[in-house]
Structure 1
Amino acid sequence: MINDYKKYDLFGKTMLQRIVVKSPFRYEFPVNDQACFLYVREGDFQYRSEDVQIDIPTNYSLFLNCIHSGKEIEHSRAEGQCEVVIVTFHADILKKIYDKELPLLLQRSSKVSKQSSGRTNNDFLIQKYIEGLLFYFENPSLVNEDILVLKLKEIILLLSQTQDASTIQIILSQLFSPVTYTFRQVIEANLFTQASVEELAEQTNLSLSSFKREFKKLYNDSPHNYIKTKKLEKAAELLLVSNERITDIAFDCGFNDLANFTKSFSEKYHSTPTHFRLNQNTK
Structure 2
Amino acid sequence: MILDHKTYELFGKPILQRLKIKAPFSFDFPITDHACFLYMIDGDMKYKYSDRQAILPQKHSLFLNCIHSSKTISSLQPGETKEIMVINFHPDILKQIYSREVPVLLQNLNVPISNQSIEHINSDILIEKYIDGLLFYFQHPTLVNDDILVLKLKEIILLLSQSANAPAVQTIFNQLFSPITYTFKKIIEANIFSQFNIDELAAQHNLSISSFKREFFKNYNDTPANYIKNKRVQKAAELLIVSSQRIKEIAFQCGFNDVANFNKSFKEKYNISPSVYRQSQK
Q: In structure 1, what is the equivalent of residue 157 of structure 2?
A: 156
The equivalent residue for 2:53 is 53
2:152 is paired with a residue whose SS is: helix
Give distance in 2, aligned partners of 1:67 and 1:30. 8
Greater displacement, 22-31 / 99-108: 22-31
Q: Could you tell me which residue of structure 2 aligns to residue 144 of structure 1?
A: 145
Amino acid at match of 1:104: V
Provide the rounded CA distance (Å) in 2 between the counterparts of 1:30 and 1:19: 17
Q: Which residue is 1:44 aligned to?
A: 44
Asked if structure 1 preserves the Cα contact closer than 8 Å seen for 2:31 and 2:69, the reply is no
Residues 71 and 145 (structure 1 numbering): CA distance in 2 closer, same or farther, change over 3 Å? farther
Q: Which runs of 5+ in 2 are unaligned?
A: 184-282
CA contact (8 A) 1:32 1:67 kept: yes
Residue identity in the other structure for 1:106: L
2:85 corresponds to which residue?
A: 85
2:259 is matched with which residue?
none
Q: Could you say what secondary structure the match of 1:8 adopts?
A: strand
- Contact map agreement 1:39 1:62 (CA 8 A) in 2: yes
1:66-114 per-residue CA deviation (whole Å, 9 max, x = no partner) reads: 1024443101112311100000000000000001232111122522211
Q: What are structure 1's unaligned runs of at least 5 residues?
A: 183-283
**How do residues 9-158 of structure 1 correspond to structure 2 at under 5 angstroms?**
9-28=9-28, 32-108=32-108, 110-158=111-159
Once the two structures are superposed, residues 33-90 of structure 1 have per-residue CA deviations (whole angstroms, 9 ceiling, x without a partner) of 1000000010011111223311101010011101024443101112311100000000
**Deviant stretches of 4+, over 6 Å:** none
Q: CA deviation at 1:172?
A: 1.2
Partners of 1:5 and 1:20 within 8 A in 2: yes
Q: Deviations over 1:127-151 (max 9, x none)?
A: 0000000000111100000000000
Structure 1 counterpart SS, 2:154: helix
Give CA-to-partner distance per residue, 1:230-273, whole Å, 9 cap, x none: xxxxxxxxxxxxxxxxxxxxxxxxxxxxxxxxxxxxxxxxxxxx
| Match status 1:167 vs 2:168 | yes
Contact 1:69 1:117 (C-alpha < 8 Å) held by counterparts = no
Distance 1:112 1:39, change over 3 A: same
Residue identity in the other structure for 1:177: S
Using a 3 Å threshold, how does the CA distance of structure 1 residues 136 and 40 change in structure 2: closer, same or farther? same
| Higher mean C-alpha displacement, 134-143 vs 115-124 | 115-124
User: Match for 1:95: what amino acid?
Assistant: K
Compared with structure 1, are the counterparts of its residues 13 and 91 closer, same or farther at alpha carbon in structure 2 (3 Å cutoff)? same
Aligned counterparts of 2:152 and 2:7: Cα–Cα separation in 1: 14
Paired with 1:82 and 1:11, the residues of 2 have a C-alpha distance of 29
CA contact (8 A) 1:38 1:87 kept: yes
Aligned letter for 2:38?
L
TM-score by length of structure 1 reads 0.61
In the alignment, which residue of structure 1 is the partner of 2:236?
Answer: none
Aligned partners of 1:37 and 1:63 also within 8 Å: yes
CA distance in 2, matches of 1:178, 1:79: 40
Describe the shift of the 1:16–1:29 C-alpha distance in structure 2 as closer, same or farther (beyond 3 A): farther
Kindly tell me the number of residue pairs found equivalent between the two proteins: 182
Q: Which residue of 1 aligns with 2:186?
A: none
**Greater CA radius of gyration, 1 or 2?**
2
